[in-house]
Copies of this chain bind each other. A is one copy, B any other.
Amino acid sequence: MSSLKKIQAPIQDEMKAFEPKFRDYMASKVALLDRITYYIVKRKGKQLRPMLVFLSAKLHGEIGDSSYRGAALVELMHTATLVHDDVVDDSNMRRGFFSLNALWKNKIAVLVGDYLLSRVLLLSVENKEFRLLELISTAVREMSEGELLQIEKARRLDIDEQVYFDIITKKTASLIASCCAVGTASVQSDEEKIEAMRLFGEYLGIAFQIKDDLFDFQKTAKTGKPTGIDIQEQKMTLPLIYALRTASSTDRKFMIRVVKRHNHDREKVEQVMAMVRDSGGIEYAEQKMNEYYQKALNILNAYPESEAKNSLLELADYVIQRNK
């Protein structure tokens, strides 16, 4: 976390002031809701999203009330999707706490997600910040489309590289893109700058997801072995897609069989992982990640030197260097 602390330095006052504001935005008269939002605030993650909003705002002007509301918008939206994800993934753990799903069941998770979405709406409408709302709404549409596209395609392992990039652009990169666009739009209205920063976030988000994919092939501190969980869960990641494309017909058939059967046979999963490694799929994914990282940097490089620019450069660095 120390590198994140350094990245936060130019906006640390704002990040601190943001916390109680965010809690206030979620407040409700329904006791059950307040109990749940208490857990949500407690289990807050790295807060990359508000950081991106404030840094993008600072890169273009003075951070103001509108930037705080922009940060609240993306964080509420992110929280709403996490809560809905609890239903979607049926995951029992998230960020080390029990998921809402496990604690209070699906129905409450859906309603809380809906409630948070309504807070986003009202916050924007009350302050007549419609450009921010438009940027956020586009992200919601893309995230749900991206998830549904993934569900549709995953069943038949029908994911080539183009579909993969389509999915991760919508599913992961669109919210990060909207953070950068929202921060920029919160302090000035030049649409070219908003679009440039949206693209910066999109490239960064794509690099972020490829990095996530690569973790599956890295040795974990705990076992000294890669987990291979994505393969067990039939997730088509870039290294695997590359390996499938370049493999012999026999090898491809074997890999597909193992992946399709949600195979928990450790030996077979490790065989597939070795095939992916031997194919050069990991280097290929790293190369792609670096391409997107470079595209993101090129956008920032057009800006004059500043604290905010440096932090965004370091944040981009962090995204592709992080260990978890």
Residues of A within 8 A of B (CB): 28-33, 81, 84, 87-90, 106-108, 110-115, 117-119, 121-122, 125-126, 128, 130, 133-134, 136-138, 140-141, 143-145, 147-149, 151-152
Residues of B within 8 A of A148 (CB): 30, 32-33, 108, 111-112, 115
Q: CA–CA, A29 to B148, complex, Å?
A: 11
Verify A137–B125 contact, CB threshold 8 A. Answer: yes
Q: CA–CA, A34 to B166, complex, Å?
A: 18
The 9 closest A-B pairs by CB, nearest first: A121-B137, A118-B141, A118-B140, A115-B144, A32-B152, A88-B107, A114-B144, A125-B134, A111-B144
- Least Cβ–Cβ distance between A134 and chain B, in angstroms: 4
Question: Closest chain B residue to A128 by CB distance?
Answer: B130
Most B Cβ at <10 Å: residue of A31, A32, A90, A118 = A118
Verify B141–A111 contact, CB threshold 8 A. Answer: no
Q: CA–CA, A30 to B29, complex, Å?
A: 38
Q: CA–CA, A147 to B108, complex, Å?
A: 9
The answer to whether A87 and B112 touch (CB under 8 A), given A122-B137, A125-B130, is no
Verify B106–A145 contact, CB threshold 8 A. Answer: no
